[in-house]
Structure 1
Amino acid sequence: MTTTFDRGLALLDAILEAELGSAGYPGNAQLADSIGLDQATVSRMLKDLAALGLVERAGRAPGWRIGPGYFALAAAAGDRDLLTGARPLLRGLVARWHEPAWLSVRSGGMALTVEAQLSHWSSYVAATPGARTPIWCTGPGRALLLDHTEQQLAELLDGVEFTGGGPRAARDVAALAAYNSTDRAAGVVVADREFEHDVVDFSAPVRDGSGAVVAALSLAVPRFRLAGRSAGIAESVAGAARALEVRAGGREGRRAGRPGP
């Protein structure tokens, strides 16, 4: 195992194998022995994987199990048309604007990154495959919720504390609904300092054949590099999202992001 990515995959495989077998939920020592790494390294990796929702503590059991982010990522990866259609469009956005671009789907109350193309500043957390970010204070999250009414937002986000995020993040359901009402007409979300203090997310909903929002396509720009590019970036992100709808088509079963009646 030569890279962190390789070690992370090996760790996920070891947890899944133990969970499906008779050994039960594996602990840190068992996992370290299984993949041939020291316990300190495994502990750090588990902490990172847990932060992404890929693994979680097994309830009251003293071990680990596969988390909801793993299954959401697997479900999204199963839609090959969506992912393969997104890759050239994301590469095109990065080539044009020199900023990171990524594709997200809903995972419960979070936005899950399922595909990304990085730029020369590649540390933006949302543009990391497997990253789970708040759905209420990010560009992709708001794009995934763009069709929700205020009542539907209130039901979905019941119990959510609107804390964290950037200085311009919505602090209640009414503010979130107002943001989305403004962006809905344009068909693209411009989340200015809602997640990070000096970053603007441009995100557009990707719809299936019935018109339901099934994904969000995004590009992030540091504010100091925006310099009059906002309109052009918003237009190209919205155009890429529309092109992805044409390339990927719809799939009847992927309706998790559609507001209920």
Structure 2
Amino acid sequence: MTTTFDRGLALLGAILDAELGSAGYPGNAQLAARIGLDQATVSRMLKDLAALGLIERAERVPGWRVGPGYFALAAAAGDSRLLVRARPLLRGLVARWHEPAWLSVRSEGTALTVEAQLSHWSSYVAAAPGARTPIWCTGPGRALLLDHTEQQLAELLEGVEFIGGGPRAARGIPALAAYNSADRLAGVVVADREFEHDVVDFSAPVRDPSGAIVAALSLAVPRFRLADRTAGIAASVAEAAGALEVGAL
């Protein structure tokens, strides 16, 4: 295992193998022994996997089990055509704009990244596969909710306090509905400083053959590099999402 990614996959695989087998939910020491790493390293990796929702603490008994993020990724990967067709479109966006681009799906009230093409500053945005972001204050999240009425948003986000996000994040259902109403006409969400300070998310919904939104395709740009590119980026993201829709038909 030569990379952190390899070690993370090995750790996730060890947890899944134990859960499916007779060993039950493994603890830190068991996992360290299984994959041949020291407990301090394993402990740090477990915290990172848990933060992404890929694993979680088991109920009633000590140990780890796979979490909701794992199942969401598996469900998204089940539609292999969507991911396979998304990859060249994402690569095309990165090649054209030199900014990170990614594909997200809804998962338990969050936007979950399931595929990404990264750039030199990708670590500053939630573009890595497995990353989760709030569904109400991000470009991908709002694109996933673009067809929701104000009433549907109120039902879906009941109990959400609208705390956090960037300086221009919606602070309630009416504001979120107004944002989406404006972006719905253009078919692409431009989320300016709604999640990260001084970052603009461009996101467009991806639809299945029935017209339902099943994913969101996004590209993020620091505001200082945006200049006069807003219209061009928005159009290219919408075009890529449209091509992905056509591929699903």
Q: TM-score range by the shorter chain?
A: over 0.9
Q: CA RMSD in A?
A: 0.8
Query: In structure 1, what is the equivalent of residue 228 of structure 2?
Result: 228
CA positional deviation for 1:125: 3.2
**1:25-73 superposed Cα distances (whole Å, 9 cap, x missing partner):** 1111111111111111111101110111100011232111000000110
Query: In structure 1, what is the equivalent of residue 100 of structure 2?
Result: 100
| 8 A contact 2:209–2:248 mirrored in 1 | no
- For the pair 1:168 / 2:168, whether they are aligned, the reply is yes
Counterpart AA for 2:218: S
Query: In structure 2, what is the equivalent of residue 72 of structure 1?
Result: 72
CA distance in 1, matches of 2:124, 2:204: 18
Q: 1:34-73 to 2 correspondence within 5 Å?
A: 34-73=34-73
Counterpart AA for 1:143: A
CA distance in 1, matches of 2:22, 2:52: 26
Greater mean alpha carbon deviation, residues 125-134 or residues 206-215:
125-134
CA distance in 2, matches of 1:107, 1:37: 31
CA distance in 2, matches of 1:203, 1:179: 13
CA distance in 1, matches of 2:227, 2:87: 27
Query: In structure 2, what is the equivalent of residue 149 of structure 1?
Result: 149
Query: In structure 2, what is the equivalent of residue 84 of structure 1?
Result: 84
- For the pair 1:195 / 2:195, whether they are aligned, the reply is yes
Counterpart AA for 2:131: A
CA distance in 2, matches of 1:79, 1:124: 28
Counterpart AA for 1:92: G
Query: In structure 2, what is the equivalent of residue 259 of structure 1?
Result: none
SS at match of 1:89: helix
Query: In structure 1, what is the equivalent of residue 205 of structure 2?
Result: 205
User: What's the TM-score, normalizing by structure 2?
Assistant: 0.98
User: What's the TM-score, normalizing by structure 1?
Assistant: 0.94
Query: In structure 2, what is the equivalent of residue 25 of structure 1?
Result: 25
CA distance in 2, matches of 1:83, 1:9: 19
| 8 A contact 1:125–1:131 mirrored in 2 | no
SS at match of 1:119: coil
- For the pair 1:6 / 2:6, whether they are aligned, the reply is yes
Structure 1 gap segments, 5+ residues each? 250-261
Query: In structure 1, what is the equivalent of residue 132 of structure 2?
Result: 132
Q: 1:113-124 to 2 correspondence within 5 Å?
A: 113-124=113-124
SS at match of 1:127: coil
**1:194-251 superposed Cα distances (whole Å, 9 cap, x missing partner):** 01001000000000111000000000000000001000000000000000111233xx
| 8 A contact 2:202–2:233 mirrored in 1 | yes
CA distance in 2, matches of 1:60, 1:125: 35
CA positional deviation for 1:108: 1.3
CA positional deviation for 1:22: 1.3
Structure 2 gap segments, 5+ residues each? none
Counterpart AA for 2:100: P
Aligned length: 249
CA distance in 2, matches of 1:193, 1:137: 9
Counterpart AA for 1:72: A
Determine what percentage of the aligned residue pairs are the same residue. Answer: 88
CA distance in 2, matches of 1:100, 1:125: 8
**1:154-186 superposed Cα distances (whole Å, 9 cap, x missing partner):** 111111121111111111111111110110000
Counterpart AA for 1:168: R
| 8 A contact 1:200–1:221 mirrored in 2 | yes
| 8 A contact 1:111–1:132 mirrored in 2 | yes
CA distance in 2, matches of 1:137, 1:60: 34
